[in-house]
Amino acid sequence: MDEAEWLMTENVQAMIDLITAAHSRHGEPALVSFKKIRLFECAVCRHVWDAKNCRQCGGLKMIVLPYNEDTEGGFAVCDSCGATGRTPSLTNGDCRDAVKVAEHFIDGQVGYEAMREFRETLPNLDHPDFAQMQLVINCCMADGWRQAGVLCEVASYHFKVPVRELADILRDVIGNPFRDHDYTILPVPSLAAQTAVDMAKTIYNNRAYERLPILADALEDAGCGKADVLDHLRLLGTHVRGCWALDVVAGNKR
């Protein structure tokens, strides 16, 4: 895969293979860090978690049907178009907690042992919410990058997440692996620069991604001339926790 294909492809498995392939060859480092892959996995879980609309028509009213042993999980029907599918949102409390624990691990708030112990408390995959369990358990695995492809398959098959959305999430987290994003955004310290950095940290902590264009304006006012960062922050589309441009500004080391 070359740079042009990376920027346009919807083949999320090929993208994952590209950024993790080196990790399996003689101990060579991957193109991205282990934490970045786990950020992507958590972002996919959050994407399912936040889903409220029908994947077919965009309708906002999804009616959850009773558990059915034949379908092995919760189903929902759209009140607008009548389409049926797996329950579109992450409703199980244990599953939501699993995502939070994985995110705390990324941020250094809990160690791997705590994450592993929590994973062992999750119900078995024969639980009525087995699809949700199967989705989130991949976030708590030791080799998170190995599970990224499996997690995408679960999100696409069980929760009907379009592959284009998965690819966009991965691009938002990873950026462009063919270019170096490890550089200083604001080389000259100033009050305006510190204001921009503080804003970036607030956006990260509050998941206030609608404020990213405002952050881009603040960076420009502070003297930032990195077009790729500014353009990405102003991009109308998918932004998640772990957004590469936001991490660069906030100083999050991944």
Per residue in 111-120, pLDDT tens? 878 877 877 7
**Tell me, what's the pLDDT at 190?**
87
Cα distances (angstroms) measured from residue 118 to each of 73, 134, 157, 254:
23, 15, 26, 23
Spatial distance between the Cα atoms of 18 and 87, rounded to a whole number of angstroms = 31
Q: What is the pLDDT of residues 123-173, one digit of tens each?
A: 665 566 777 777 777 776 655 566 788 888 888 887 778 899 999 999 999
Domain containing 102 equals: 3-51+89-174
> Is 186 inside any structural domain?
no
Q: CA 66, 150, 114: angle at the middle one, nearest 5?
A: 85
Please say which residue of 122, 144, 174 terminates a domain: 174
Total number of domains in the chain: 2
DSSP at 107:
T
DSSP secondary structure of 2-20: -HHHHHH---HHHHHHHHH
Q: Within this chain, do residues 94 and 216 fall inside the same structural domain, yes or no?
A: no
pTM of the model: 0.81
Report residues of the chain scoring pLDDT below 50. Answer: 23-28, 60, 67-73
Does residue 67 fall inside a structural domain?
A: no
Burial-class residue 121 by CB neighbours within 10 Å (0-12, 13-18, 19+): exposed
Given 114, 139, 174, the domain boundary residue is 174
Give yes or no: residues 135 and 21 share one domain: yes
Classified as helix, coil or strand, 76 is: strand
